[in-house]
A and B are shown apart, each in its own frame.
Chain A
Amino acid sequence: MHSDAFDRYHHGHSLIHDLDPRVKVVVTVAFILSNALLPDAAWLAFLLAWAFILIANALSGLGLGFTFRRSFIALPFALAAITALFSIPGAPVMSFRFLMQDFTITDAGLLRFVSIVIRSWLSVQMAILLVAVTEFPKIVHALNHLRVPTILTVIISFLYRYLFVLTDEVMRLLRAREARSAGAAGKRGGGSVMWRARVVGNMAGQLFLRSYERSDRVYNAMLARGYKGELMTIHPHRFQAGDLLIGLLALVCLVLMQVAGRLP
């Protein structure tokens, strides 16, 4: 059984695919940071940022609309900013009553809200592109090189490795339940909600126990191969002049975006 639900890597060869993963991680983080720093209603800068993503998309060979299509997944999270509509003082645009409360949307609030949605939407697209063009282990290596604490990168890479194994485990549990969920003809099967909840609870407990025991076996396997408490890895990344050039170019673009966002 294979669970590939989490693998977002799209195999391919392109300028962006072959870029050093460190450059990709740095540029992505810088891009997200730069978005966060842009002032509200910096329309020109937002447009430039979007153009930046489109160019990256085009260079990656995945198609201009690639990240756009996948970006809607993150929009619900941007709704957390909805309070900005009402809480920023400004000229009222619209008022309504909801749950016996008066709400007034202000112009400044509206601008702030739209800007937040655009910023997060742009940032998410960049992150989507990063995982689509970089194999996950390489992202973790890049984080290692960028001096992210080893304990974090180790946790991330174990999580990634065993996410697949655990999903398979869950699938097996669900399948086993399915296979035994028989029903007598003409009767509604399944039992009461309480009973169902208990079954699910037991399954969650099973999963925890299985994972816990597995972690023991994995640790034994690590010990058996000489693990002494410090994880060692080897990542032969070659940093080439081209990588540096593209990275610098991207950073210059970001600076220009910031300047564009602050023009009067």
Chain B
Amino acid sequence: MTDVVSVRDLHFSYPDGHAALRGVSFSLCAGDKVALVGPNGAGKSTLMLQLNGILIGRGEIAIGDMRLTRDNLPVIRGMVGLVFQNPDDQLFSPTVFEDVAFGPLHMGLPEAEVFKRVDAALESVRMTSYRDRLSHHLSVGEKKRIAIATVLSMNPSVLILDEPSAGLDPRARRRLINLLRELPITMLVSTHDMKLVEELFPRTIVMDEGLIVADGVTKEILEDETFLNAHGLEKP
């Protein structure tokens, strides 16, 4: 079976010359829930933007059995659901409904299907009653859930989340963790929340200075304190 995501020898430098990715390779199998950890500036966000083709570097990225090129970007973007760290960046429409409908509409789905997708996406993040609310009146926790719904409505084959638990109070964080656990979808989650990593993800990828420095079973990685400290991380 082909991997859902496979990345081979990915390099990327920002226009100012800063090399953010210096040869990254990994793959995700269907159903994998993988944590992506590493200090600030390690290249996590850059890597995530690559998977959706928003930044394009040197190397090879394949989603399913489709290689990411400039021509199939629209298809790839429907398959890779990217959830940004700040929900205010992600929720740009006036109402919740319009935000969740944005992806399906741009995929060119017929209206009836769009409505069905929106309802299903809101249902799976348990926010059905928020359909007609205004985005800017929601709390951060609510915004995060809606932000996840905005990509679920595209029926992506992989979900990429940037810092989903940042800035959440314990209850909102707990709800989010339960939600991520229940979602039956492949996901790659960048986070600094090591407790979350320990609890939710069987596999962890550690990045530092644009390279993957570890990729393996979460438990083993979290046990190696010297290794964690060397890469600016902490044992939970």
Contact = CB atoms under 8 A, between A and B. Distances in A.
Nearest to B89: A217
A234 B105 contact: yes
Contacts of B135: 161
B136 interface: yes
B101 A226 contact: no
A225 interface: yes
B94 A226 contact: no
A232 interface: yes
A165 interface: yes
Contacts of A164: 136
What range describes how many residues of B lie at the interface? 20 to 34
Interface stretch (B80-88, B205-213, B215-223): B80-88
A218 B111 contact: no
A214 B94 contact: no
A179 B155 CA distance: 46
A157 interface: yes
Interface in B45-83: 49, 52, 54, 74, 77-78, 80, 82
B150 A225 contact: yes
B105 A224 contact: no
Nearest to B78: A226
B107 interface: yes
A228 interface: yes
Please indicate which of the listed interface residues B92, B95, B105, B134 has the most CB atoms of chain A within 10 Å of its own CB: B92
B151 A225 contact: yes
Contact of B106 (A157, A220, A232): A232
Contact of A214 (B77, B89, B136): B89
B12 interface: no
Contact of A221 (B80, B84, B98, B105): B84
Q: Is the interface of B mostly helix, strand, loop or mixed?
A: helix
B171 interface: no
B137 interface: yes
Contacts of B158: none
Nearest to B52: A224
B78 A217 contact: no
B134 A226 contact: no
A121 interface: no
Nearest to A220: B54
A136 interface: yes
Contacts of A2: 136-137
Contacts of A222: 92, 102
B93 interface: yes
A204 interface: no
Contacts of A232: 102, 105-106
B124 interface: no
A225 B89 contact: no
A140 interface: yes
A227 B92 CA distance: 12
A225 B77 contact: yes
A162 B74 CA distance: 26
B77 A224 contact: yes
Interface of A: 2, 4, 135-137, 140, 157-158, 160-162, 164-165, 214, 217-218, 220-228, 232-234
